[in-house]
Structure 1
Amino acid sequence: MDFSVQTILENENFKLIPLQENDFERLYDVASDPKVWEQHPNKERYKREVFENFFKGAIESKGAFLVVSKDSGEVLGCTRFYDFDEENSSILIGYTFYGRNSWGKNVNPQIKKVMLDYIFQYVETVIFHVGKDNIRSQIAMERLGAEKMREEEIAYFGELPKINVVYEIKKEDWIS
């Protein structure tokens, strides 16, 4: 891999900062709202001990970002690059969540655009796993231009496998 999946990324509104161990409390403040996880495969992530596992996986991935508002400095959520596959020139983007105060404010499309614009310099395909019941995220994927490929059982870090919808975007189809 001749690129970094954990470099600082930004646009005029948001900054994606590589996640650090000392970000736990600030991120857990956002994650501790049960409504955030209602449609996610693990609805218990609002609980501190469950979120600790999620956070550990994020740190160990070495591709996770803290999403921060440039205006306020407020932590909005988290996302990550993971599972780079050099042979297939692909990578996954996921484990994304935002606090409710970010919903409906065009945060996710802007964050995904920054990530996709960056990573398509290095890979041909980006894959997303979305929980089968996470309709909000499936709609977001389709608005982004991702193609629904199949359903697949996915084991998230330290969790039992769940059925996910697999989406992908090819570099040649991405309009930056």
Structure 2
Amino acid sequence: MMHPKFDPQPTLEGVDICLRPLGPDDRTALFAAASDPAIWAGHPAKSRHERAVFDPYFDSLLASGGTLAVTERDGGRVIGCSRYYEAPDHPGSVSIGYTFLRRDHWGGGTNRAMKALMFAHAFAVVDEVWLHIDPSKIRSQRATAKLGAEHAYDGKLTMGGKSGVWQCWRITRAAWQARFAG
């Protein structure tokens, strides 16, 4: 169970994006965002752009109770999602992951803006946030390092139904504030 005072499905608004609880009516819009095969090329679930693979994935996101749809503030187009969850090896913790964005939002400030909103929400309750990355996801490792998270250790965990070795990254409230204050 995640930290008892933490709300895993807030609505968070930034300058260009909004994060809100994922709902059943988001299936078609999130599939449209996920339907580009290049999004999943560096991911273990390479065929998630196919409807037959996406639908069970979407169902698991809904069932998690911590998934947020990421939308453009102007127009409300769904551009991806991210999720709060408890780290399997840190009871009562808050973790962020299961994130993807449309390719037209890669390389700019969208991931940082999204994570800034999510970290700010988490750091109102906890002192550290965990991120878990499949060792094969180099792009995610680079993006996570740019946020100021540090690779703490590799651990044998079960994440998203997959057992294996995961990279365990963490960032503290103090490190986040030192890096991005002002």
**Amino acid paired to 1:97:** F
Whether 2:168 is the aligned partner of 1:169: answer: no
Cα distance in structure 1, aligned partners of 2:5 and 2:156: 30
Which residue of 1 is the match for residue 16 of structure 2? Answer: 13
Q: 1:50 to 1:161 in 2, by over 3 A?
A: farther
8 Å Cα contact 2:152-2:168 kept in structure 1: yes
Shift of 1:124: 1.6
CA RMSD of aligned residues (A): 1.8
Cα distance in structure 2, aligned partners of 1:63 and 1:82: 6
Whether 2:105 is the aligned partner of 1:102: answer: yes
8 Å Cα contact 2:123-2:173 kept in structure 1: yes
Query: Deviations along 1:107-163, whole A, 9 cap, x unmatched?
Result: 000100010011101112111011211111111111100000122344333x43243
Percent identical: 34
Shift of 1:18: 0.4
Which residue of 2 is the match for residue 76 of structure 1? Answer: 79
TM-score, L = length of structure 1: 0.91
8 Å Cα contact 1:89-1:123 kept in structure 2: no
Q: How does 1:116-155 map to 2 (within 5 A)?
A: 116-155=119-158
Cα distance in structure 1, aligned partners of 2:111 and 2:69: 13
Cα distance in structure 1, aligned partners of 2:147 and 2:9: 22
Whether 2:42 is the aligned partner of 1:36: answer: no
Q: 1:134 to 1:84 in 2, by over 3 A?
A: closer
Cα distance in structure 2, aligned partners of 1:104 and 1:25: 25
Which segments of 5 or more consecutive residues in structure 1 lack a partner in the other structure? none
Moved more, 111-120 or 89-98: 89-98
8 Å Cα contact 2:34-2:48 kept in structure 1: yes
Shift of 1:64: 0.5
**Amino acid paired to 1:132:** P
For the residue of structure 1 that corresponds to 2:94, the secondary structure is: strand
8 Å Cα contact 1:39-1:131 kept in structure 2: no
Whether 2:100 is the aligned partner of 1:65: answer: no
Aligned length: 174
TM-score, L = length of structure 2: 0.88
For the residue of structure 1 that corresponds to 2:151, the secondary structure is: strand
Q: 1:6 to 1:107 in 2, by over 3 A?
A: same
Which segments of 5 or more consecutive residues in structure 2 lack a partner in the other structure? none
